[in-house]
Amino acid sequence: MKKIILLFLICCFTIYFASGQNERSLIRDGNKEYKRKNYTEAETNYRKSIEKNGKTYEGNYNLGNALYKQGKQEEAVKYYSGSAELNNDKSAKERSFYNLGNALLKTEKYQESVDAYKQALRANPNDEDARYNLSYALSKLRQQENEQKKDQKKDQKKDQQNKDKQDQQKQNQDKKDKEEQEKNQQRQKSQPKISKEDAERMLQALKNDEKNLQKKLAKRFDATTGNPEKDW
């Protein structure tokens, strides 16, 4: 029984150390490729190390560096942020936040970049590079805000011009409708009005005319043949 337990413990320790060594070996291999500027190969090794253990500072931080070197700043941000949470050492945090600021600066996320540099300076107030980059990021942030204000003013001006145009079109249409209405009213006024009595007299006159016409037509027919009489 003791031999079985001892064998089990030996197996557990063997697996543990083999796994740990493999993870560290992958990071070392990644570092070698990184120094040779083979950043794609370095990325591959760092990713494999994270698959073994995603909670290592070195794996996440170094992967961020390899991605940054390939121009994949947005993805690098993820791993820099992650590495900053995995190590409480001030020096390690400073490096993570400093590089995080650089990656955010590259993607023109100036406010987030400013915040990252401030975190780096909290970890190390003597970091002159972080101080300089913070100043630069602040200037870019102000520039961005000014450009956004200009764009907002342009949009507001354009919206106002469109509104003025629509208002003018409505005024023109209202004026046209009013003029047409006035013309119709004038035409109605110019027409003679017929009273009810006059209308009845006219109707009766039309009826009488129709009766007289019928009588005249009847006289033109022969009573026996029904043929119309001829004028000689």
The mean pLDDT of 90-107, rounded to a whole number, is: 97
The rounded mean pLDDT for the chain is 85
Q: Regarding predicted confidence, which is higher, 79 or 18?
A: 79
Task: Decide if pLDDT at 114 tops 70.
Answer: yes
Say what the pLDDT of residue 2 is: 44
Provide the b/e sequence for 146-180 (b: ≥16 CB within 10 Å). Answer: eeeeeeeeeeeeeeeeeeeeeeeeeeeeeeeeeee
Task: Decide if pLDDT at 11 tops 60.
Answer: no
Q: Regarding predicted confidence, which is higher, 172 or 45?
A: 45
- Are 104 and 112 in contact by the 8 Å Cβ rule? The answer is yes
Task: Decide if pLDDT at 89 tops 90.
Answer: yes
Task: Decide if pLDDT at 1 tops 70.
Answer: no
Task: Encode pLDDT of 36-87 as tens digits.
Answer: 999 999 999 999 999 999 999 999 999 999 999 999 999 999 999 999 999 9
Say what the pLDDT of residue 191 is: 65
